[in-house]
Structure 1
Amino acid sequence: MARPLLPSITALTAFESAARHLSFSRAAAELHLTQGAVSRQIRQLEETLGLDLFERVNQRVFLTDAGATYLADVRGLIDGLAAATRRVMASAGGGGVLELAVLPTFATRWLMPRLPAFLAAHPGATVNFSVRLEPFSFADDRLDAAIHHGEATWPGAVCVHLCDEQVIPVASPSFRDDHSIGRADDLARVPLLHQATRPTAWRDWFEAAGVDAGAVFRGSRFDQFAMIAGAAVAGLGAALVPRFLIEEELRTGRLAVLFDRPLSSGTAYWYVFPEEKSGSALVRVFGEWLARESAPVA
C-alpha cells in the first residue's frame, strides 16, 4: 500500500542540515551535494507539505514558524533512525545490544572495571553508554535501561535496588599528616570538599560523630564525585565519598580513610528499565548481574 505524505530521507536530511546551518551552501558542503541539489530537495519537500519551511531574504534563509516546528520532529526522526542503524549494526554478534544511561562517575569507576566479566559471560552482547544525570522519558530517549541515583520513583519503570549510598571521610595521606588529623574534631578545622547535590553531607557527618564543627559549609563544591576524589588526591581537602567509587585510590594508597564512620545518605543506586522491556533477556540478565556485583560482601 502506498504511503502518502512520506518524504524521502534525502529531502529530510537536506532540510535538517540547511535548518541547522541556516544556509543551503553549508548544508551542501556537509552532505557532499551541490547547492542546487539541496535547494531542489527542500523545494520538493515544501511542495509535498504545501507550505514554506524557509523564508528567503536577500540570499539568506530563515526558518518559518512551520519550519521550526517541523525541524524538531525531523531531527528526532533522523536521530532515531541513526540510533536504530547503530543498534542493528552492533547486533551482528548475535548477543543483543543494550542502550544504557549511566551516571558518569558510577560508570567509569565502578561499572567499567567489572564490565569485561559480564561481556565474557555473554559473548556477542554489546552495551552502549549515554550519560544522563536526571530521570528522563524512556519513550523519548529510546534507551533500554538506566543507572539511577535517588529514590525508587520512576513512572512506568521497574527499579532494581543495587546498593545504598554510604560515604566515608577520606583524604590524601600527605594531607592527613600535614594537618595532624587524628580525631574526628580535627576535621572541623581543615578544608572540606563538598558534592553539590549533597550539600549537607559534612554537617550530617559531624552531627553523627558528635562533633560541633561550626562552619561546615566552607570549602570547594564539585558536581561529580570523580572531581572530588581527584581534588582529595591532590591534597585540596578532606572529602566524603562512597567507598565503592574510590576503590582504586584506596588500593594504591592515594587516598586514605580518615575514620571508619560511614554516613548513609538515605538514597540508593538503582537499575531502572521500562516495564515493556521486562521481557528482554539482555535487559534482565544485565540487571541480575548488576545486583549480584553490587551486593554487600558477606
Structure 2
Amino acid sequence: MRNRRFLPSISVLAAFDAVIATGSVTAAARELDLTQSTVSRLIRTLEEQLGRDLFVRHKKRLVPTPAALDLAGDVGRALDLIQRASMKVVANPEGGSLSVATLPTLNAQWLGPRLKSFLDTNPGINLSLTTRLRRFSFETEPVDAVIYFGDDDWPGAHHLRLFGEHYTACAAPNLIAGADVTAPADLARLPLLQLETRPLAWADWFAAHDAPPPRADGMLFDHFSMMTQAAIAGLGVAILPAYLAATERSEGRLEPLFTPAVPGRGSYWLAWPEPRDAYPPLVAFRDWLSGQPAP
C-alpha cells in the first residue's frame, strides 16, 4: 500500500505546480479559476502534509525553496503523465493507444511513409509519435517503445533488431564538378561533414576503400537531416545511410561517390520496457515492424 502522507491530492499538486509556473498565488488562482485564498490554503496543506516549508513568504510573494524547485520537476512530470493517460482514454476508450519515440530523420524518410499500412491493418490503435535524439528512461518518459540507433543495450528493455546501416559518401554535383576526385583518398581534400552519433563513420568508409583515415575537422551535426541540407548547399561531403542517399540521389540533389555502400557499426532497434511486453498495441506494432524490409 502507498503511504497516503506522500500522496497529495491532485488539487493540491495542481496548485503547487501553478504557483511554481506563474510565480504568484494571484496568477495561479487565475489560471486554475480559484480564489487566492483557496490556492494559499492548498499550498499550506501540502507543506503540512510534507512537514516542511516549500515557500518563503516575502512581501506578499511566495519564493520557492530549493526543495520546492526540486519537487516541482517531479510533480510536473507526474501531472503530464496523468494528463496524457486521461487523453488516451478519451481519444480511444478501448485502450488501443501506442506511443513510440523515434529518430527524426528515420521517421521522415523510412518509418513515416510506411505507417499507413500499419494503421490500415490495425484501425483500432491510436498511434502517437515523438522524436528523441538521446537516450532516456522509460520510467520518466510516457512512451511505450523507442526506435533508436546503436546496440541492444537499452536498460530494462527487450529489443528487436530492425536493420543495420550502410554508408554512402554523397556530395552536391557543383562541389564535385571541379574537385578532381578520381579516387577515394581524394575526398580527404574536401570538407567532410561529421555526425555526433557516428564518430567513426568516415574512418570506416576510408578503411573500406583502402585509403588513409582523414582528419575529423569538418562541420559537426547532431542528426542526418541537417547534414544532408549542408551537403546539398555545397558545404561539404556527407556520409549518409543507404535509405537517405537513395532519396537524395533519385531527386538529383546529391551524387553518391565510390559505391557500393560501406557497412557501418550499430543497428536500428525497437526497444520497449519489459512490463509492456504483452501490451496488445505494442505486440501488433512489433509484429508489423519485423515484417518491414530493410532499406
TM-score for both structures, normalised by structure 2: 0.89
Tell me the residue number matched to 1:243: 242
Q: CA RMSD in A?
A: 2.3
Q: Map of 1:242-281 to 2, 5 A cutoff?
A: 242-281=241-280
Deviation readout 1:45-92 (Å, 9 max, x if unpaired): 334444432110122222235534543442232122112112212324
Once residues 95 and 121 of structure 2 are traced to their aligned partners in structure 1, the CA distance between those partners, rounded to angstroms, is 11
Runs of 5+ in structure 1 lacking a partner?
Answer: none
1:163–1:270 contact (8 Å) kept in structure 2? yes
Structure 2 SS opposite 1:161 = strand
Once residues 236 and 39 of structure 1 are traced to their aligned partners in structure 2, the CA distance between those partners, rounded to angstroms, is 58
Tell me the residue number matched to 1:158: 158
Aligned residues: 292
Identity over aligned residues, as a percent? 40
Q: Does 1:209 align with 2:233?
A: no
Q: Map of 1:1-298 to 2, 5 A cutoff?
A: 5=5, 7-92=8-93, 94=94, 96-212=96-212, 215-295=214-294
Q: CA offset at residue 159 of structure 1?
A: 0.8
Distance 1:279 1:200, change over 3 A: closer
Once residues 168 and 90 of structure 1 are traced to their aligned partners in structure 2, the CA distance between those partners, rounded to angstroms, is 43
TM-score for both structures, normalised by structure 1: 0.88
Structure 1 SS opposite 2:139 = helix
- Return 159-168 or 243-252, whichever deviates more: 243-252
Once residues 291 and 236 of structure 1 are traced to their aligned partners in structure 2, the CA distance between those partners, rounded to angstroms, is 37
Once residues 134 and 202 of structure 1 are traced to their aligned partners in structure 2, the CA distance between those partners, rounded to angstroms, is 22
Distance 1:221 1:14, change over 3 A: same
1:109–1:246 contact (8 Å) kept in structure 2? no
Runs of 5+ in structure 2 lacking a partner?
Answer: none
Once residues 184 and 75 of structure 2 are traced to their aligned partners in structure 1, the CA distance between those partners, rounded to angstroms, is 58
Distance 1:206 1:66, change over 3 A: closer
Deviation readout 1:195-244 (Å, 9 max, x if unpaired): 1222232222122212236x532321111111111111111111111011
